[in-house]
Chain A
Amino acid sequence: MSRTELQLTAQGRLRHFLDIEGLSRELLTEILDTAESFIAVSDRSIKKVPLLRGKTVANLFFEASTRTRSTFELAAQRLSADILSLDIKTSATVKGESLLDTLRNLEAMQIDMFVIRHRDSGSAHFFAQHVGPGVSVLNAGDGQHAHPTQAMLDMFTIRRYKEDFTRLRVAIVGDILHSRVARSQIHALNILHTGEVRVIAPPTLLPKAAESLGVRVFHDLDAGLSDVDVVIMLRLQKERMSGALLPSESEYYRLYGLTTERLRRARPDAIVMHPGPANRGIEIESAVMDGPQSVILNQVTYGIAVRMAVMSMIAAQPAEDA
């Protein structure tokens, strides 16, 4: 079964949410529209709707996370689901058998939906292939492959500030090579017919065939930021220095750090985004992060609504053994 077939029902509805690639513009738009309706719920004093009442959601995080995990938890709670959150300490040598055993044990507890983060690319598909009928998998990050809910909350954020994707120039800056967020963002932006998608990074932090993703590649930040409407900064992991991918944090900041000065290259109404957690003074200056063009904290808020949207759309599917 192809990757796209795996996450859709025979009717083309969401069965799992594993990957942005292969989804239609209509489906992405539907997720964004649904999320819009949940924004209102979060503003009410009683922040709950009963869409997932009686369902149990398990957060299965094989990798550390604060933001993603807690916003998934809140999203499930606001949909009235029961939620079980597990941090699974794993060694680098964890074997497939024990992964599946973990999943099967939890399935035996009648879990309806798994939210899974794992260090291996393709792990979400692996889990989705092995859960029973009527059980869904939401990918909360698989290796360097995909982080689809993050990408959708980023699209939601962009749509809140900018109207028409087709007229936008969007630049993604930083470690594209290791970033599942960037891969999902690029797919989502292209599916939504974004005018131009740019990636800006040194060659050591770019995948070999980056252009094949449908982006323009820049190694120079100033050139890449010129006239963009949206700047998405990516987190720089400290371990990139030891892997000889970069000389030092200071040199990275010199070349790719987003400062007030450099942001002037972008359009005056450009917004600045970051999936978090941000390294102040390494990839982004505090003044930019806390400045008027930053929408970073709004992204977090929207994350709850977007995750509610995806969960409710999956829950709305009748159980089937697709």
Chain B
Amino acid sequence: MKIRIQGGRLIDPASGLDRITDLYIDSTLIAAIGEAPEGFVADREISADGRLLLPGLVDIQCRMREPGQTRKARIASETRAARAAGITSLCIPPDTLPPIDNSAVIELIHHSNLKAGNLCHLYPIGALTKGLEGEQLSNMAALRDTGCVALSNAFAAFANTLVQRRAMEYAAGLGMLVVIQPRDLSLYANGCAHEGELATRLGLPPVPEAAETAALAKDIELVAQTGARTHFGQLSCARSVEMIRQAKRDGLPVSCDVAMHQLFLVDRDIEDFDTHKLTLPPLRSMRDRDALREGLADGTIDCICSDHQPQDQDSKLAPFPSASPGISALETLLPLGFRLIDEGVIDLPQLVDRLSTAPARIFGLPAGRLAPGEIADAVIVETGRLDVCDPAGFLSAGKNSPFGGWDFSARAVETLLAGKPSSGPQAAELKRRASDR
């Protein structure tokens, strides 16, 4: 099918393009921008008049809960939510049940995605160690050849630093990206809140900064030793930002991301013991939040992820320390991103870069660009119309969001995946929302 998307403000950070123009799609690829190719006759015209046309968003940390915890969510429900929210590519961390350490699990994920209608591109991140047990190296080359885009041990610990070093060395030999969420589990202990005034007052088991920074310091040293290209996920501390800034200055092959909620919420927000604000790493201080925002603006932090963790209702229905952590974050990723613009943290091209271009580049995904010859993953965004966030209306199976009641002014109105406009879910959802008014 040939499609002309007409009149949108097209942003492509990689080429620096930012202008109102037309986009031509031929089958799965972008055929041209601006002038129609010779003899191009559109089968379908989509108007993006007065709207933004961006590359589809790339979320590098999204839990689908499948396989293993399908009572919480499924690939079908979560890709539907992602697609409607403008996200076209998703990376799945390896801590599924069983973990992503063999080709059978990867095939299962792709099979489920196909069955669900192939609403998003899914990219599994393979386990660095067998069973995520931190002892034996996984079959990394096999994982790479079955489509893993990176390797990680998720939140699981390595048996010792030697195993971690060898895992990173071996991955480096294969040219694979290593993803690390820096955490020293012994310093985490049973903590559930940032070690600061709030945890002191509420008597919540604290998570010190060093639970992240001590691990990060060690991890950076291992990057220097092994040369493994390493991406650090979901940083939460001001000091971590400074350490990455220094590592980049030193020329180390590192990159990092921050979860969207860390750019908005702080420890003081858990004053009311609201379990929807229970996250790991915990919500930190205002100083940390500001440093994360600064790092995002100056490029120290390369990308923003959703760190999507859908939970069923019972998992949050418990006293704070016993509740399950995580936020259902797919459907707030884009609107919160636009709040960053409204609050003057970053500008629109920077936002598109952090949410699409940069993560695609770091993880080596065919995404994040609007240019001729690229896969036609694109999202049309409407801005300027106020919408109050209502988690009960999420398409995700997880309704666990602390952002209920927040004002959002941006939303995806059409998301194309490989040249295919969304038919079912997004159209239906928009219709439903329209009738709610």
Q: Which residues of A are at the interface with B, using a C-beta cutoff of 8 A?
A: 1-3, 21, 94-97, 99-100, 118, 120-123, 125-126, 142-146, 180, 183, 207-210, 212-213
Tell me the B192-207 residues at the A interface (CB within 8 Å): 195-197, 199-206
Q: Is the CB of B314 within 8 A of A122?
A: no
Closest B residue, CB atoms, query A206: B200
Tier of interface size on chain B:
20 to 34
From B197, B318, B319, B321, contact of A212 by CB (8 A):
B197
Q: Which residue of A3, A96, A97, A213 contacts B319 across the interface (Cβ within 8 Å)?
A: A96
A21 vs B206: C-alpha distance when bound (angstroms) = 20
Chain B residues whose C-beta falls within 8 Å of the C-beta of A126 in the assembled complex? 273, 318-320
Given contacts A3-B273, A208-B195, A208-B206, contact A143 B321 (CB under 8 A): yes
- The answer to whether the Cβ of B46 comes within 8 Å of any Cβ in the partner chain is no
Q: Which residues of B contact A142 (CB under 8 A)?
A: 203, 319
* Cβ contacts under 8 Å, B320 to chain A: 120-122, 126
- Given A126-B273, A208-B208, verify A121-B317 contact (CB < 8 Å): no
Q: Which residue of B lies closest to A179 (CB)?
A: B203
Min distance, Cβ A96 to any Cβ of chain B, angstroms: 3
Asked if residues B203 and A121 are in contact (CB atoms below 8 Å), the reply is yes
**CB atoms of B319 and A122 under 8 A apart:** yes
Encode contact with A along B236-277: 1 for CB under 8 Å, 0 otherwise: 000000000000000000000000000000000001110000
* Leading 4 A-B pairs by shortest Cβ distance: A96-B318, A144-B203, A120-B319, A145-B203
B164-198 with Cβ < 8 A to chain A: 195-197
Partner of B321 from the list A1, A121, A208 (CB cut-off 8 Å) is A121
What is B's interface to A at a CB cutoff of 8 Å? Answer: 195-197, 199-206, 208, 271-273, 314-323
Residue of A nearest to B273 (CB): A122
Assembly CA distance A2 to B318 (angstroms): 17
Contacts of A2 in B (CB 8 A): 271-272
Is A120 a contact of B322 with CB atoms below 8 Å? yes
* Interface pair B206/A123, CB less than 8 Å apart: no
Pairs A–B under 8 Å by Cβ, sample size 29 = A1-B272, A3-B273, A94-B322, A96-B315, A96-B317, A96-B319, A96-B323, A97-B318, A120-B322, A121-B202, A121-B205, A121-B273, A121-B321, A126-B318, A142-B203, A143-B204, A144-B205, A145-B202, A146-B203, A183-B203, A207-B199, A207-B206, A208-B200, A208-B206, A208-B208, A209-B196, A209-B200, A212-B201, A213-B201
Least CB distance from B319 to A in Å reads 4
Q: How far is the CA of A118 from the CA of B272 in the complex (A)?
A: 18
How far apart sit A2 and B322, CA to CA, in the bound complex (Å)? 20
Cα A280 to Cα B317 in complex, Å, equals 41
Greatest chain B CB density within 10 A among A96, A122, A208, A212 is at A122
Our pick among B200, B203, B271 for the contact of A180 (Cβ within 8 Å) is B203
Question: Is the CB–CB distance between B272 and A3 below 8 Å?
Answer: yes
Work out how many contacts link A and B, with CB atoms closer than 8 A.
89
Contacts A3-B273, A208-B206 known; A122 to B200 CB distance under 8 Å? no
Q: How far is the CA of A291 from the CA of B295 in the complex (A)?
A: 61
A99 touches B318 (CB 8 A): yes
Report A8 CB to chain B, min CB distance, Å. 14
**Among B314, B316, B320, B323, which residue has the most Cβ atoms of chain A within 10 A?**
B320
B314 touches A212 (CB 8 A): no
Contact A3 B271, beta carbon cutoff 8 Å: yes
In the assembled complex, how far is the CB of residue B372 from the closest CB belonging to chain A, in whole angstroms? 53
Q: What residue of chain A has the Cβ atom nearest to residue B209's Cβ?
A: A208
A246 CB to closest chain B CB (Å) equals 16
Instruction: Name the one of A100, A122, A180, A183 contacting B317, with C-beta atoms under 8 angstroms.
Output: A100
For B206, the chain A residues whose CB sits under 8 A away are: 207-208
Contacts of A118 in B (CB 8 A): 319
Q: How far is the CB of B400 from chain A (nearest CB, A)?
A: 13
Smallest Cβ-Cβ distance to A21: which chain B residue: B201
Cα distance A3–B198 in the bound complex, in angstroms: 13
Q: How far is the CB of B317 from chain A (nearest CB, A)?
A: 5
Give the residue of A3, A21, A95, A213 whose beta carbon is less than 8 angstroms from that of B318. Answer: A95
Residues from chain B with Cβ under 8 Å of A143 in the complex: 203-204, 319, 321
Compute how far the CA of A73 lies from the CA of B355 in the bound complex, rounded to whole angstroms.
59
A143 to B201, CA, bound (A): 12
Name 7 extra pairs, CB < 8 A, besides A97-B314, A120-B321, A144-B203.
A95-B318, A99-B319, A146-B203, A207-B200, A208-B196, A208-B200, A209-B197
- Complex CA distance for A94 and B323, rounded to whole angstroms: 11
Cβ contacts under 8 Å, B323 to chain A:
96
| Bound-state Cα–Cα, A213 to B196, Å | 11
- Closest-CB distance, B273 to chain A (whole angstroms): 4
> What residues on A are CB-neighbors of B208 within 8 Å?
208
A210–B199 CA distance with the chains assembled, in angstroms: 10
With a cutoff of 8 Å between Cβ atoms, the chain B residues found around residue A1 in the complex are 272
A208: chain B residues at CB < 8 Å are 195-196, 199-200, 206, 208
Residues of A within 8 A of B315 (CB): 96
Set of chain B residues within 8 Å of A207, measured between Cβ atoms = 199-200, 206
CA distance A238 to B426 in the complex (A): 59
Q: How far is the CA of A235 from the CA of B148 in the complex (A)?
A: 54
Q: Which residues of A contact B203 (CB under 8 A)?
A: 121, 142-146, 180, 183
Q: Are A145 and B197 in contact (CB under 8 A)?
A: no
- CB pair B321 A183 closer than 8 Å: no
